[in-house]
Amino acid sequence: MQWQRVLVTSNGDDVSVNIAYNLAKNGCRLVLMGNEGRLQSIGDRIADSINDHDAIKVVGLDMEDDRETSFYGAVEKACSLLGNLDAFVNCYSYEGKMQDPLVMAEDDFKKTVKVNFMAVWFLVKAVGRKMCDQGTGGSIIMAMEIGKRNIRVNGIARGLHLQDEYPISVGKEQAERLVKEASPSAPMA
């Protein structure tokens, strides 16, 4: 694997934990970023399973913070722990409740925007600048285009899972039927 030093944002969900585990298992050094208390135990568990307690560090960051400087500071701290940064994998998101947008509470809307848009933008800017300063390029795993600076950007669509809010709100059978109609070749996990 060409990546050696990877920043992974996580809210502790199964998808991000599995991504972090597989990266660490394949020899990457990681910084997990998000809720420090939650991620420390996850990092310890992964480190124990691969018998390498130097492979994973944790940097706390409140993804609802609306100050760009907080994100730059967290990325700086991650880079000081890793040396340089080869890749950034953004796995942190806020799903919220499945609800009619006309009755969505203002606080829930603001949290969705802060976590899913503002935090991601601040992190991409901070990581992208860091990669440019390093002069080595790198990879950012999410959907954006900053490739002109020798930074490859990929997107991962994890698909719909039965434990997600949507299938729970409409029922498993209805969700499976609608997914099959929309994308006949994509099974639900």
Question: What does the pLDDT look like over 7-63, one tens digit per residue?
Answer: 999 999 888 899 999 999 999 999 999 999 999 999 999 999 999 989 999 999 999
pLDDT in tens, 122-164: 999 999 999 989 888 888 887 544 444 566 555 555 566 667 7
pLDDT tens for residues 161-183? 667 777 778 888 887 787 777 66
Listed by start position, the domains of the chain span 5-158, 160-189
Phi, psi angle pair for 158, to nearest 5°: -70, -15
- Give the Cα separation of 92 and 164 in Å (integer): 15
Is residue 86's pLDDT more than 80?
yes
Residue 146's pLDDT is what? 46
Separation of alpha carbons 68 and 54, rounded Å: 29
Task: State yes or no: pLDDT of 70 exceeds 90.
Answer: yes
Q: What is the pLDDT of residue 23?
A: 94
**pLDDT higher than threshold 50 for residue 188:** no
Between CA 181 and CA 13 the distance in angstroms is 28
Token pair listed for 86: 């080869």
Q: What does the alpha-carbon distance between residue 14 and residue 7 come to, in Å, rounded to a whole number? A: 17
pLDDT attached to residue 157: 53
pLDDT at 173: 85
pTM of the model: 0.76
CA 171/CA 105 separation, integer angstroms? 24
CATH number of 5-158: 3.40.50.720
Instruction: Return the amino acid letter for 10.
Output: S
The tokens for 105 are 């509470």
| CA contacts within 13 A on the Cβ side of 1 | 15
